[in-house]
Amino acid sequence: MLWWSGRQIAQVSPAKERGVRVHLDARKMWQTKDVWAASVEQGKRYAERWCAARLYPEMRLRAAVARMVDDTPREPLPPLPALPPTPEQLQQARRLAEAGAKELERVKEALAPRRPPAVTKPRAKDPMKAWVRAGREQVIPRY
């Protein structure tokens, strides 16, 4: 298998009829190809050359193959300069900041220590309510 930019571009697999089957898929849909090779080594060399010619057309073939099969880590490219934000992006950022502030207030309120309940005066108990409450407890519930 041959990988390029995190994508499989060539696969060499055994074939039933003869030799090996080489499936090539470089960049575009119309640049796919299935070929036969006598051996795995021949199929691998063919795949490297075919893919290098399509992925690096500006380079000489030998240099393109060497670059494609080289697996040493490369230094990442410098980041591109940032574009100025569009009015829609500014509006979205403002709305997200407002929503975040409201959510933060809600969380702080939920995490705040609870106040003890206010002391209320005891009410005079009505004997009639106690009788009704006692009567309800004696009723057998129906299921």
**40-78 confidence digits (pLDDT tens):** 888 888 888 888 888 888 989 899 888 878 777 777 778
What span, in angstroms and rounded, lies between the C-alpha atoms of 56 and 70? 14
When pLDDT is cut at 50, 70 and 90, the band that residue 86 belongs to is very high
Residue type, 117: P
At 27, list the tokens: 């960049």
Q: What pLDDT score does 89 carry?
A: 92
Q: Give the mean model confidence (pLDDT) for residues 18-39.
A: 76
The pLDDT of 115-132, averaged and rounded, is: 69
pTM of the model: 0.44
Mean pLDDT comparison of 22-36, 82-96, 103-117, highest-scoring range: 82-96
Tell me the three state secondary structure of residue 61: helix
